[in-house]
A and B are shown apart, each in its own frame.
Chain A
Amino acid sequence: MSRISDWYIMGAIALAGLAGPLLLPGLATQIAFLWLMVVFALTWDMLGGRMGYNSFGNIVFFGIGCYAAAVVQRDAGLPYFEALALGLLAGAVCAVLAAVVFGAAMLGIRGHYFAIGTLGLGIAAGEVAAGWDYVGAGSGMALPLYPGELGQRELFFCYSLFALAAICFLCCRAVYATRFGLALNAIRDDHDKADAMGLRTTPIKIFAWALSAFFLALSGGLAANMIGFIDPRDVAFAGATFGVWMVLMAILGGKGTLWGPVLGAFVFHVTQELFWTWLLGWQRVALGLLIVIIVVFFPQGIMGWLAERRARAEAGT
């Protein structure tokens, strides 16, 4: 996509993001979830698509964001918005620290072993949270009530998550345009070669994971407040739903591309909402089928499929 059309698309999305919730107030929560999905896909793609490290444990950072916000909001004794801001900050700091620690320990592992290792990380985090009384153990945590009027709450979180998704996208866009972006691709294409060329691969990989953890933690804090309740396994460390969707959306849209994860999140979220509306009772079956179709027919994602078609059309003329 050329630079100019890039700006047009961003402008159109910004307009839709700002006007959408006002025009369709009944869908505000669904729209908010859409932006959450965009953050999920973009942050997963930083490692999975750009760097070739398929993480199944990114949900950990989302969960840390949920819990950090909930604990700060419970214990800080501040008014709602001050506590929320402090909670988001605390979550981001904790998640970045966790990414640095886990990264130093795990980013030396390559390929499938990294994927399996991170899968364990996500499951372990859920179990720890479910057994820890300080964070409510298995019964989870309830978040404070939003102070505004009825209907304001949905709009607030819809716009907050939209802002987060937009900042995350612009940050990715800026970072991928630097040498750092090239270094990530180099690690993906041939890690040993990157080492042999003298790149500082370990700090590069850790920084990428920390950046992804930062945005995930912020999304976690906002999502926990929007949902109003944290269950350790079904919300915060929901590896089987959110954790898998992150991967799917990025693959569906086209991993390693700028727009792929955004597109994947849109298509996935809309399809999933339609399943819930029209196929109630069968929605999980339909979702499973969708996953199979994505992996079998769109292994390169929608962006990859489009690029292939374009290349074929050019070769044909």
Chain B
Amino acid sequence: MSVLLDVQNVTKRFGGVVANEEVSLTVKRGEIAGLIGPNGSGKTTLFGSIAGAHAVDGGDILFEGRSIRHLRSAPIARRGLLRTYQQTRIYDDMTCTENMAISAREAQGGLLSLLRPVPRATNARAGDLLGFVGLYEKRDDRAGSLSFGQQKLLEFAMALMNEPKLLLLDEPTAGINPTLINGLIDRLRRANTELGVTLLVIEHNMRVIMNLAHRITCLAHGRVLAEGVPEEVRNDKRVLDAYLGVA
């Protein structure tokens, strides 16, 4: 499998706080990669750095072999690298279908292409994907009226609507009803296998990430602590210490 995302020695500081220090990780095309670590270990900061939310202080980030370090979030998204947010972000005052329609790939075009009605095929696809995450019944509802868990699912569907090559998911199961988590894992897998989206997932729920990911990277205090297949990371003593604290 070829390397899709290559993060090389990325450092990010906020004033005196070093949020990421010399972090390196790779994501291969077609896999599901996991990113874990205790609270404050710099996972979301790393997502921000990759997706262009802020400039990095050192290192380089290659997507499909080209550096995206100096790009902002919009051009990065247009290359096919999207992220979702831990605190879900959707367009509150628009309906679910509208949220989906404006997330389609063709909405990233120039002004002239925007000055056309939403194609019927796009609305149909929006309906399909809303069905995929179980929100078809809510398609005409205001997105802001959905529960937090449903908004999370909507945000996931919006990302899929964009047909990204790589999707960064920040805690997809946080706030989701535990009985629905298995269904969500299944959908993440299907997005990966059926829709061909490579995933990089931040997750606190160990059962979920150990089940889902092919490879896992663990961060602690802004550095990479361990890396490997789930079995290795789970049994790594340093990882256990980082989560539980060392006496």
How many contacts A-B (CB < 8 Å)?
Answer: 102
Instruction: Decide: A177 and B94 in contact? CB cutoff 8 A.
Output: no
Which of B72, B78, B94 makes the CB contact (< 8 A) with A182?
A: B94
Which of B82, B83, B91, B110 makes the CB contact (< 8 A) with A203?
A: B110
- Whether a CB of chain A sits under 8 angstroms from the CB of B1 is no
Instruction: Decide: B114 and A204 in contact? CB cutoff 8 A.
Output: yes
Which of B72, B75, B83, B115 makes the CB contact (< 8 A) with A180?
A: B115
Instruction: Decide: B111 and A193 in contact? CB cutoff 8 A.
Output: no
Instruction: Decide: B108 and A198 in contact? CB cutoff 8 A.
Output: yes
B74, B98, B102, B117: residue with the most chain A Cβ atoms closer than 10 Å: B102
> Interface size of B by Cβ–Cβ distance < 8 Å?
36
Instruction: Decide: A199 and B90 in contact? CB cutoff 8 A.
Output: no
Instruction: Decide: A196 and B53 in contact? CB cutoff 8 A.
Output: yes
Q: How large is the interface on A (under 10, 10 to 19, 20 to 34, 35 or more residues)?
A: 20 to 34
Chain B min CB distance to A199 (Å) = 6
- Whether a CB of chain B sits under 8 angstroms from the CB of A88 is no
With a CB–CB cut-off of 8 A, which chain A residues contact B73? 192, 195-196, 198
Interface hits, A159-192 → B, CB 8 Å:
175, 177-180, 182-183, 185-186, 188-190, 192
Instruction: Decide: A186 and B91 in contact? CB cutoff 8 A.
Output: yes
With a CB–CB cut-off of 8 A, which chain B residues contact A190? 89-92
- Whether a CB of chain B sits under 8 angstroms from the CB of A256 is yes
Interface hits, B61-91 → A, CB 8 Å:
72-78, 82-83, 85, 89-91
Q: List 25 A-B contacts (CB under 8 A).
A: A178-B116, A178-B117, A179-B102, A179-B114, A180-B114, A182-B102, A182-B107, A182-B118, A185-B91, A186-B91, A186-B102, A192-B73, A194-B102, A195-B72, A195-B73, A195-B74, A196-B73, A196-B77, A197-B77, A197-B107, A198-B75, A198-B76, A198-B77, A199-B108, A207-B111
- With A190-B89, A197-B107, A200-B111 given, can you name 18 additional A-B contacts, CB distance below 8 Å? A175-B115, A178-B115, A180-B115, A182-B98, A182-B118, A185-B93, A190-B91, A193-B89, A193-B90, A194-B91, A196-B77, A196-B82, A198-B78, A198-B108, A200-B109, A200-B110, A204-B111, A256-B93
B residues in contact (CB < 8 Å) with A: 51, 53, 72-78, 82-83, 85, 89-94, 98, 101-103, 106-111, 113-118, 158, 162
